[in-house]
Structure 1
Amino acid sequence: MTSRISIERGNLIYTQDLGWIDQGHAKGDDARLLWRQFTEEKEYALLKGYFSVNYVQSMSKYRVASGVQTQWFVKRGLPLNMKQSLAMTIMYHTSLRFETLQSNLFLNSGFSCEDLISNLLGFYKTLIPRDYMTLIKPKGKDYSYKIWDYYGDVGKYKNSELKPLIFPDPERFPNNARPYSKPLPFYMSSIKPYPLNMALKDKVLIRNIDRFMGGLYIK
């Protein structure tokens, strides 16, 4: 769960183009594991013409681990743009499931305004590498503190869409200091998720496992 101290630690930054970004979510580690399976296309022995994709999002808090695991079978030999779209579909579907789980477990944690957009940033870093940190225009810590102190905890503001939530500068716009969503910038708009129902109907994607995980762990 993100707190004000995350700004000081550099884990939470405010950006001009994407609003709040969680640097942990934006690393793209999970996206790299996901995309590697798409590029390798290791055929699944029990389903000819398909390869298996496993994707997990998880977290731990107070020695309790929780997460969501999804497994899919993807049709082999698809063009690059379709594979990118299907990868985004899997990422977004699993993210929604995971944020729903967090909403049920931890106060203010699920669908916090920075979560999904940070996941998407990590996804683009993996699939279309470029200098995104320059493009998103990060603000300094003083500005980030100003936004936090005026608007409050980021967990208060929920976002279930792949769109950034922007918090106007309260000093520049005192009469219009309200968060608003806006379309993604051009450099994060080239990949569109393949509609899940259509992907399943077209049999380019077959859903196998879609489940919550959880348990106690000992350090």
Structure 2
Amino acid sequence: MSNRGEILDSSRFGSENGIRHGLLYSGVLGWLDMGHARGDDVRKLMAQFSTGEAGSDSYYRVRYEQTMGISRFATGRFNVWEIKKGRTLTERQSIALAMMMSTAVAFENWQSMPWFSWYTDSGFSGEDLVSDLFGFYKVNYPRVYWGELKFASKESALRRWDHYGPISRYKNTGFLPLLFPDPIEKFTCPRPYKGQLPRFMKQVMPYKFTPNDDIVLRSDDKAGIINAFQ
């Protein structure tokens, strides 16, 4: 659950790489949770594809999960898919994106359940899914995106937060960015609105399942549930 104290001073950075936590406001992607955008989960997933393709089995298993911790208790959602060996890098990226997106939506929905309302209101928080998607592209197309994303100054970011309120108030169930005009500027849209993804975040199309699909095998078309004590 993001809070005002997590807003970073963008002038301290010249690249998004290496930022592990905190919030930044981008004129292109809206609020970004840099923890979600790290891409560590996607990096681990892509490594599983590489290991499977290098193995000798005709099918290999990949697993992706998103979790949250509540004291010593962890809960979340996961998917396990069987992949037919022989996938190109483009195919692997497409499958990985579909896996990440379906699991992320299931996880945000899980956080929205009434039994977690005492702990968090961050299910489908406006920044979560677009931050996940940015993390996917950071891993699969590594370069510096800083200049393209038009990060606001800390003063401008705080102004948005104080004017519109916490980002968790604004629910976003899709992967398009939610943009918040700077309230100090005149003749702008006076309320948050959906933007469009930049071109670099449209390079991969999520894998589409077909009847009798033998490329990706799923035991269930719904994400599994993780409940565990750590």
Same fold (TM over 0.5): yes
Q: State the distance in 2 between where 1:12 and 1:138 align.
A: 11
* CA RMSD of superposed structures (Å): 2.1
Per mean C-alpha deviation after superposition, the further-off stretch among 205-214 and 162-171 is 205-214
Matched with 1:56 is 65
SS of residue in 1 equivalent to 2:181 = coil
User: What displacement does 1:204 show?
Assistant: 1.5
SS of residue in 2 equivalent to 1:123 = helix
Contact 1:43 1:50 in 2 (8 A): no
Instruction: Find the partner of 1:202 among 198, 213, 218.
Output: 213
Where has structure 1 moved over 6 Å in runs of 4 or more? none
Matched with 2:152 is 139
Matched with 1:37 is 48
Per mean C-alpha deviation after superposition, the further-off stretch among 99-108 and 146-155 is 99-108
SS of residue in 2 equivalent to 1:54 = strand
Matched with 1:88 is 97
Contact 1:44 1:50 in 2 (8 A): no
Contact 2:181 2:188 in 1 (8 A): no
Tell me the percent identity: 38
User: What displacement does 1:175 show?
Assistant: 6.1
5+ unaligned residues in a row in structure 2: which ranges? 10-20
Are 2:131 and 1:122 aligned?
no
1:175-186 to 2 correspondence within 5 Å? Answer: 176-186=189-199
SS of residue in 2 equivalent to 1:176 = coil
Shift of the 150–100 alpha-carbon distance from structure 1 to 2, 3 Å rule, reads same
- CA offsets 1:136-179 (integer angstroms, 9 cap, x no match): 12112111100101110101111121211111112214662111
Q: State the distance in 2 between where 1:75 and 1:164 align.
A: 34
Structure 2 counterpart of 1:6, one-letter code: E
SS of residue in 2 equivalent to 1:202 = coil
Shift of the 65–7 alpha-carbon distance from structure 1 to 2, 3 Å rule, reads same
Are 2:26 and 1:15 aligned?
yes
SS of residue in 1 equivalent to 2:112 = helix
- CA offsets 1:2-38 (integer angstroms, 9 cap, x no match): 1111115860110111000001001100000011111
Contact 1:42 1:52 in 2 (8 A): no
SS of residue in 1 equivalent to 2:82 = strand
Aligned pair count reads 213
5+ unaligned residues in a row in structure 1: which ranges? none
Q: State the distance in 2 between where 1:90 and 1:156 align.
A: 27
